[in-house]
Amino acid sequence: MTQAKKHNKTKYLFVTGGVLSSLGKGIASSSIAFLLKQRGYSVSILKLDPYINIDPGTMSPTQHGEVYVTDDGAETDLDLGHYERFIDESLSQKNNLTAGRVYYDVIKKERKGQYLGKTVQVVPHITNEIKNRMKSLDGEKDFVLIEIGGTVGDIESLPFLEAQRQMNYELGQGNYLNIHLTYVPYIASAKELKTKPTQHSVRQLMQYGIKPDVLLCRSEHTLLKDIRDKIALFCNVDEDAVFEARDVDTIYEVPLFFARKRLTETILDKLGIKAKEINLDTWTKFVKRIKNPKYTVKIALVGKYTKYEDSYKSIAEAFIHAGSINNTKVELDMINSEDILDAKTAKQTLSEYDGVLIAPGFGSRGIEGKLHSIKYIRENKIPFFGICLGMQCAVIEFARNVCGLKQANSSEFEKNDQNVIDLMADQVDVEDKGGTMRLGAYPCVLEEGTNAFAAYGTAEISERHRHRYEVSNQFREKLQSKGMKLAGLSPDGNLVEIVEIEDHPWFVGVQFHPELKSRAVTGHPLFIDFVKAVLKNKKQNEAE
């Protein structure tokens, strides 16, 4: 039996998942972290992913959802977006680790002879590397939540679970808890909930030497006491530590649901910590506005990865935040840019929307559809928001149809003498695609009198980037002479960060990714202002 060790300042909460993937470990971890922070504790969250990619930077969004970028330029799993949105703190390279990164670092050490001729093995070398990352915030926070990706039973997760088992032993009782998220399906034909998948999942976890202390049972139905008692009995878990994790209307309601079930009180009690008071008034009002908004607007997101909604997860969440702040429900529809073939289909597709966002992305596929969309939006005075590639497409469309540069394009798609978008100078000789873009937070200076300046309310901002191409300085004067404002520049004036068009309800394109800094409750200035402009324009159109 694990013996109690000396008191550890940092308490560790390990979150694993069983039965099936995509149960919501990220939301559960974020919610628990948020509730602990609201009680006055300092928290952080780590995501450990078992795939062999060093990071998700080279993965298609349709494979793994969006790539989330931190201030320090880490390309990470999208769950870090949930973490930041819930706990309202910026995370870093420390907060995401993949199996690929672990093996890569261990192999580099082996090549340098740092293991002194020893045979390098999964145990202890790989597991030690994982544990070192698990302990990277030790002593800095009151609580560190560690979410282990994948599903218990997956072969690739085994080194991470073995590291968790070792950490349990090394930390000792009272310094950690194991939280396991499972699924309790409802069989309609039998009209009953089935606990067997949860039992098998816990049994599998215990075969790895890990005993769950708390069970979160995801289900579409209420788990009555007799079901929870049965799960507790067969899973060797205290009856008061079996919690239902029922489906709710919005992910931002999950912390309130867990609070009503007194989840964090149970966690703290098991760690021998007296729970501090908690105030959820602001969050409760935020959720109420999401669920019961006064207004509604329809916004189209035109992109090329629309078959998988997680490709634009942060954008969708930013609209929820901005909608709540504007007391407005944003009905966001994903439109595949490849389906917009010409001016006619652009009109047919977009005429019913109150606003349009042209999404980020890479490559030439679907670009002409974005350009047709932007032309229709610009000419018909529909509020427009372009992000990264969306902003670059706005510049290309303006150059072609307003400036008379009929061959205007990006050198990413076609190299010619009218590349209004071109490769950054320091990217010309880059061959490795992973982690070599302009990544992370960079400063930007705003021009007074612009929509961007009005939205931020300040002259200097910092936003996160992920791109290789920029507006070509060769064409800046031409663009400006025809009415395109360079509303935001890098501090040295060399890079265009924001473009706007005058005589338009709201037409803003940004080179960076503002969605990555949108937080629950407070939102992001540009998304808030865009939704506000969309609502105002809709009211004016209805009044005419």
Residues 263 and 315 in one domain: no
pLDDT tens column, 261-287: 999 999 999 999 999 999 999 999 999
The CATH number linked to 417 is 3.40.50.880
Nearest of 317, 311, 326 to residue 383 by alpha carbon: 326
Residues 55 and 173 in one domain: yes
The CATH number linked to 155 is 3.40.50.300
Lowest mean pLDDT across 148-157, 456-465, 514-523: 148-157
Confidence of residue 59 (pLDDT cuts 50, 70, 90): confident
DSSP 178: E
**Residues 491-496: contacts with CB within 8 Å, 24+ apart?**
491/443, 491/444, 491/445, 495/470, 495/471, 496/470, 496/471
Q: Tell me whether strands 496-501 and 484-489 are parallel, antiparallel or unpaired.
A: antiparallel
Residues facing 523 on adjacent strands:
519
Instruction: Judge whether 506 lies within some domain.
Output: yes
Phi/psi at 418 (5° precision)? -125, 35
The 3-state secondary structure of 242-259, one letter per residue = EEEEECCCCHHHHHHHHH
Residues 305 and 382 in one domain: yes
Percent above pLDDT 90 for the chain: 88
Instruction: Judge whether 465 lies within some domain.
Output: no
* 6, 122, 169, 276, 297 from 107: Cα distances, Å: 34, 11, 27, 45, 53
Confidence of residue 60 (pLDDT cuts 50, 70, 90): confident
Better pLDDT: 432 or 351? 351
Lowest mean pLDDT across 51-60, 111-120, 232-241: 51-60
Residues facing 356 on adjacent strands:
300, 384
Instruction: Judge whether 124 lies within some domain.
Output: yes
- Identify the three-state secondary structure at position 5: coil
Examine the fold and report which residue of 232, 263, 284 is the final residue of a domain before the chain moves on.
284
Instruction: Judge whether 257 lies within some domain.
Output: yes
Could you list the residue range(s) of the whole structural domain that residue 342 is in?
293-422+471-486+494-543
pLDDT tens column, 295-340: 999 999 999 998 888 899 999 999 999 999 999 999 999 999 999 9
Residues 348 and 399 in one domain: yes
Phi/psi at 250 (5° precision)? -145, 145
Average pLDDT, the chain: 94
Residues facing 193 on adjacent strands:
186
Residues 180 and 321 in one domain: no
CA 291/CA 420 separation, integer angstroms: 43
HSE value, Cβ hemisphere, 13 Å, CA-based, for 512: 29
Instruction: Judge whether 463 lies within some domain.
Output: no
In total, how many domains does the chain have? Answer: 2
Residues facing 355 on adjacent strands:
299
Examine the fold and report which residue of 246, 265, 284 is the final residue of a domain before the chain moves on.
284
The DSSP line for 403-471 is S--TT-EETTT--STTEEEEE-GGGTT----TT-SEEEEEEEEEPTTSHHHHHH-SSEEEEEEEESEEE
Percent above pLDDT 70 for the chain: 97
Alpha-carbon torsion (318, 83, 71, 278), positive or negative: positive
CA 466/CA 73 separation, integer angstroms: 8
Token pair 């602990």 in the structure block, residue:
36
Residues 187 and 239 in one domain: yes
Confidence of residue 438 (pLDDT cuts 50, 70, 90): confident
Q: Other C-beta atoms within 10 Å of 264: how many?
A: 25
Examine the fold and report which residue of 237, 252, 284 is the final residue of a domain before the chain moves on.
284
- Identify the three-state secondary structure at position 153: coil
Residues 230 and 309 in one domain: no
Residues 232 and 349 in one domain: no
Instruction: Judge whether 44 lies within some domain.
Output: yes
Residues 213 and 98 in one domain: yes
Contact 210/178 with Cβ under 8 angstroms? yes
Confidence of residue 435 (pLDDT cuts 50, 70, 90): low
At 148, the amino acid letter reads I
Instruction: Judge whether 459 lies within some domain.
Output: no
Residues 209 and 247 in one domain: yes
Residues 114 and 235 in one domain: yes
By annotation, the residues acting in catalysis are 388, 513, 515
Residues 235 and 303 in one domain: no
* Token duo for residue 141: 């926070």
Alpha helices in 299-419 (DSSP H): 313-325, 343-350, 367-379, 389-401
* Token duo for residue 132: 């070192």
> Residue 350 pLDDT > 60, yes or no?
yes
Instruction: Judge whether 29 lies within some domain.
Output: yes
Mean of the pLDDT values across residues 110-120?
93
pLDDT tens column, 231-253: 999 999 999 999 999 999 999 99
What is the pLDDT, as a whole number, of residue 437?
A: 77
